Amino acid sequence: MSIADSTSKPEPNVGIAGAALETLKAQFGDRLAVGQAIREQHGHTLTWIPNQPPDAVVFPQSAAEVRDVVNVCAAHQIPLIPFGAGTSLEGHLNAPAGGISIDLSRMNNILSVNSEDLDCVVEAGVTRKQLNSYLRDTGLFFAVDPGADATLGGMAATRASGTNAVRYGTMRENVINLTAVMADGSIVRSASRARKSSAGYDLTHLIVGSEGTLGVITELTVRLYGIPESIVSGVCPFDTVEGACDTVIMAMQIGLKPARIELLDPLQVKACNKHSKLTLAETPTLFLEFHGTEAGTAEEIERFREIANDFGGGTFEWARETSERNQLWAARHDAYWAALELRPGTECFVGDVCVPISRLAECVKETIEDIHQSGLIAPIVGHVGDGNFHVMPLVDMNNTVEVQGVTVFFDRLVERALRMDGTCTGEHGVGSGKVKYMQAEHGPGIEVMRAIKKALDPLNILNPGKIIPM
């Protein structure tokens, strides 16, 4: 639906935002939307958390316009929630206290590609697929690949990663600098374009992962990599989860640099077989990819094969052709949709924890036992090279007992990860959904976070209620 349509709908409950909306309407005209559908779309996204729409959605086109919105929200002390592509999983974009959703999707210009420096400068609304499409003829690519076609601003705000992180890093390693509008309206560039610096506090990393609670990201410089000469993907079945994990640990120890190592548990393999028409053995399975020169990838594959043999790995199948590789990774990226088909009519809650890789097999095994004991249908996929894995229980949302049971299951999952010196979220972020775990994970560190939040956003207008427990 267009914004013009949405604004012609009945007036929403604007709450305390009324006066602010008047001011914004005067400046933004039909780039301010208050229709119910668009508000609900901006208050929900892919999360399982119930919809909490903002009072309005505004579509700025420059950092100066973002600053104007921030200043209006500050003047009226109403919440402001940055919005990218709306693909977050933990209720980052919910508006529990109403306020203004600031949709950055129209700030989607690619400002410069600096091929000699292997970086580019983009507005926050550029999506990762848009960027890679733009880069196609340069021989370069942007490496971070969460499942969704998220915006780079949103990915930075949630410290996103994906299958490539084991080689290329997460947004933490891929954002060189960013520009953000702070709560006081100042427009701050966090760093220069130099690859390293010791000049003061690391504002880049402070804002990466801050989920819109410290500033609104409007622009960022991200790293690019040369497209490797040789890309080889493969699939290897294992007898046990431990065998798969031990293979990965040994491979990393001897210095192999896989671009991707994904673990699928037997249930997820079954789902992928059905959804993507594969014929894989339904056992713990690694999906792999190596990037390098022809000789380099050949050598890495051979070494990996030897290690896998030692740990109960079955026959490797390798795919060198682009079409074969794409089929494999499409199946991996469709894991969520494949999982849904395991139990039609349900919704998929996506859990996300990360532990030291030495504890991964143990953590996955305990989790599978818990799934069985809980009577859940919940496949597992993991970015195993990072120690990060997702559990995806399929939940009948009309069955409150079942919903409650899954919530408690996730509490145990997080408790298990923390006990193993891990984190409650490897890549999905805190949002609304994981605020309750922050105290247990960070202890007195929460007070440091709270002090920073209070110092930089004393009116608590920037995405309030997220990250920091009240």
The minimum distance between CB 144 and its own copies, in angstroms, equals: 11
Q: Please identify which residue in the block is written with the tokens 């890495």.
A: 300
The minimum distance between CB 47 and its own copies, in angstroms, equals: 14
Which DSSP string corresponds to 364-431? Answer: HHHHHHHHHHHT----EEEETTTTEEEE--EE-TT-HHHHHHHHHHHHHHHHHHHHTT-BS-SSS--T
The minimum distance between CB 5 and its own copies, in angstroms, equals: 35
Extended strands (E) in 293-441: 317-319, 347-348, 351-354, 380-383, 388-391, 394-395
Distance CA 256, CA 252 (A): 5
- The residue among 126 and 178 lying less far from its own copies, judged by its C-beta, is 178
152, 154, 156, 162: CA torsion to nearest 10: -80
The minimum distance between CB 245 and its own copies, in angstroms, equals: 9
The minimum distance between CB 36 and its own copies, in angstroms, equals: 31
Under 8 Å between Cβ of 367 and 352: no
Sign of dihedral through CA atoms 419, 421, 427, 433?
A: positive
- The residue among 6 and 425 lying less far from its own copies, judged by its C-beta, is 425
- The residue among 34 and 120 lying less far from its own copies, judged by its C-beta, is 120
Q: Hey, how many other C-beta atoms are within 10 angstroms of the C-beta on 405?
A: 16
- The residue among 22 and 202 lying less far from its own copies, judged by its C-beta, is 202
The minimum distance between CB 213 and its own copies, in angstroms, equals: 8
- The residue among 1 and 448 lying less far from its own copies, judged by its C-beta, is 448
The minimum distance between CB 31 and its own copies, in angstroms, equals: 26
Distance CA 209, CA 155 (A): 8
- The residue among 224 and 340 lying less far from its own copies, judged by its C-beta, is 224
Distance CA 309, CA 313 (A): 5
Structure token pair of residue 359: 């504890």
Extended strands (E) in 317-423: 317-319, 347-348, 351-354, 380-383, 388-391, 394-395
The minimum distance between CB 438 and its own copies, in angstroms, equals: 6
* Contacts (Cβ under 8 Å, ≥6 apart) of 18: none
The minimum distance between CB 463 and its own copies, in angstroms, equals: 13
- The residue among 342 and 467 lying less far from its own copies, judged by its C-beta, is 467
Distance CA 297, CA 327 (A): 20
- The residue among 221 and 276 lying less far from its own copies, judged by its C-beta, is 221
What is the longest distance spanned by two Cα atoms in the chain? 69
Give the β-pairing of 32-33 and 56-58. antiparallel
Tell me, what amino acid is at 279? T
Q: Hey, how many other C-beta atoms are within 10 angstroms of the C-beta on 244?
A: 30
The minimum distance between CB 456 and its own copies, in angstroms, equals: 6
- The residue among 64 and 451 lying less far from its own copies, judged by its C-beta, is 451
Under 8 Å between Cβ of 425 and 353: yes
Burial 331-365 (b: 16+ CB within 10 A, else e): bbbbbbebbbebbeebebbbbbbbbebebbbebbe
Under 8 Å between Cβ of 324 and 235: no
- The residue among 3 and 249 lying less far from its own copies, judged by its C-beta, is 249
446, 450, 452, 454: CA torsion to nearest 10: 180
The minimum distance between CB 14 and its own copies, in angstroms, equals: 31
The minimum distance between CB 446 and its own copies, in angstroms, equals: 8
- The residue among 266 and 431 lying less far from its own copies, judged by its C-beta, is 431
- Distance set, CA 318 to CA 47, 172, 302 (Å): 35, 31, 11
- The residue among 17 and 150 lying less far from its own copies, judged by its C-beta, is 150
Closest to 170 measured CA to CA, from 140, 133, 145, 147: 145
